[in-house]
Structure 1
Amino acid sequence: MTTPSTPPTAPAPSGPPPGCPAHRLYGPEAEADPTGLYEKLRAEHGSVAPVLVHGDLPAWLVLGHRENLDVARTPSRFSRDPRHWGDMREGNVPPDHPLTPMTAWQPVCHFVDGEEHKRLRQAVTDSLERFDRRGVRRYVKRFADQLIDDFAETSRADLITDFAEPLPMLVMTQLVGAPDSYGPRLVEAARDMLRGTATAVTSNEYVTAVLRELVERKRAVPGRDFTSWLLEHSAALSDEEAVEHLRLVLIAAFESTANLIANTLRMVLTDRRFRANLSGGHMTLPDALEQVLWDEPPFTTILGRWATGDTRLGGREIRAGDMLLLGLAAGNVDPEIRPDLTLPVHGNRSHLAFSSGPHECPGQDIGRAIADTGIDTLLSRLPDLELAVLEGELRRRSSLMSRQLVALPVTFTPRGATGTTPAPVTGTGPSQPLPQAVVPPVRPAPVQDGPGRRRPWWSRLLGRR
Structure 2
Amino acid sequence: MTPTRTVRLADLTDLTQAHETVGPRAREVHQRLRAEWGPVAPGELSPDVRCWFAMGYAEFSEVIRNEEVFSRNGDNWSAVQEGRIQPDMPIYPFVTTRQNSFHNDGELRQRLRSPIDRALSRVDEHGYAAQVRGICNDLVDDMLERGEADLVQDYAVLIPLLSVAAMFGMGPEVGDSMRKAAHKVLGGGQLAQEGVIELAVEIVDHIARRRRDPREDLTSHLIDDPGLWDDNEVMEAMIVMIIAGNELTIATITQTLLLMLSDDRFAGRLRGGRLDVDQAIEEVMWRDPPCYNITPRFALRDVELGGQLIRKGDAVVPCIAAANLDPLMTGDDPWLEIGNRAHMSWSAGPHSCPAQRPGTIIVQAAVRTVVERLPEVSLAVPADRVERHTDSLSYRYPTSMPVRFVRTLS
The alignment's TM-score, normalised by the length of structure 2, stands at 0.91
Match of 1:159 in 2: 151
SS at match of 1:302: coil
Relative distance call for 1:38 and 1:402 in structure 2 (3 A) is farther
Q: 1: CA distance between counterparts of 2:203 and 2:92?
A: 19
How far 1:150 sits from its partner (Å)? 1.4
Match of 2:287 in 1: 295
SS at match of 2:295: strand
Is 2:405 the counterpart of 1:412? yes
Q: Is the 8 A contact 1:99 1:196 kept in 2?
A: yes
Match of 1:3 in 2: none
Relative distance call for 1:254 and 1:28 in structure 2 (3 A) is closer
Q: Is the 8 A contact 2:93 2:189 kept in 1?
A: no
How far 1:208 sits from its partner (Å)? 2.2
Relative distance call for 1:390 and 1:211 in structure 2 (3 A) is same
Structure 2 residue corresponding to 1:349, chosen from 341, 349, 360: 341
Larger C-alpha radius of gyration, 1 or 2?
1
Match of 2:100 in 1: 108
SS at match of 1:211: helix
SS at match of 2:41: strand
Relative distance call for 1:359 and 1:32 in structure 2 (3 A) is same
SS at match of 2:144: coil
How far 1:397 sits from its partner (Å)? 2.1
Match of 2:241 in 1: 249
Structure 1 residue identity aligned to 2:93:
P
Relative distance call for 1:28 and 1:323 in structure 2 (3 A) is closer
Structure 2 residue identity aligned to 1:388:
A
Q: Which aligned pairs between 1:101-250 and structure 2 lie closer than 5 A? A: 101-196=93-188, 198-250=190-242
Is 2:69 the counterpart of 1:85? no
Q: Is the 8 A contact 2:228 2:234 kept in 1?
A: no
Match of 2:365 in 1: 373
Q: 1: CA distance between counterparts of 2:12 and 2:319?
A: 19
Match of 1:423 in 2: none
Relative distance call for 1:122 and 1:374 in structure 2 (3 A) is same
Structure 1 residue identity aligned to 2:59:
E
Structure 2 residue identity aligned to 1:402:
Y
Q: Is the 8 A contact 2:286 2:334 kept in 1?
A: no
> Percent of counterpart pairs with the same letter?
32
Deviations 1:318-352 (A, max 9, x none): 01111111101111011121121343312211000
Structure 2 residue identity aligned to 1:362:
P
Deviations 1:343-375 (A, max 9, x none): 331221100001111211111111110111122
Q: Is the 8 A contact 1:100 1:201 kept in 2?
A: no
Relative distance call for 1:215 and 1:278 in structure 2 (3 A) is closer
The alignment's TM-score, normalised by the length of structure 1, stands at 0.81
Relative distance call for 1:173 and 1:403 in structure 2 (3 A) is same
Is 2:8 the counterpart of 1:24? yes
SS at match of 1:344: helix
How far 1:30 sits from its partner (Å)? 4.0
Q: Is the 8 A contact 1:101 1:204 kept in 2?
A: no
SS at match of 1:312: strand
Q: Is the 8 A contact 1:20 1:50 kept in 2?
A: no
Structure 1 residue identity aligned to 2:255:
N
Q: 1: CA distance between counterparts of 2:70 and 2:17?
A: 28
Is 2:396 the counterpart of 1:403? yes
CA RMSD of aligned residues (A): 2.3
Structure 2 residue identity aligned to 1:412:
F
SS at match of 2:229: coil
Q: Is the 8 A contact 2:287 2:334 kept in 1?
A: no
Deviations 1:245-297 (A, max 9, x none): 10110111211111111011111112233145347753111100100111122
How far 1:391 sits from its partner (Å)? 1.4
Deviations 1:2-52 (A, max 9, x none): xxxxxxxxxxxxxxx998953222389947659535454334322111111
Q: Which aligned pairs between 1:235-384 and structure 2 lie closer than 5 A? A: 235-278=227-270, 281-384=273-376
Give unpaired runs (5+ residues) of structure 1. Answer: 1-16, 417-443, 445-465
How far 1:55 sits from its partner (Å)? 4.5
How far 1:116 sits from its partner (Å)? 2.1
Relative distance call for 1:381 and 1:217 in structure 2 (3 A) is same
Higher alpha-carbon deviation: 192-201 or 386-395: 192-201
Q: How many corresponding residue pairs?
A: 401
Structure 2 residue identity aligned to 1:408:
M
Structure 1 residue identity aligned to 2:54:
V
Q: Is the 8 A contact 1:72 1:357 kept in 2?
A: yes
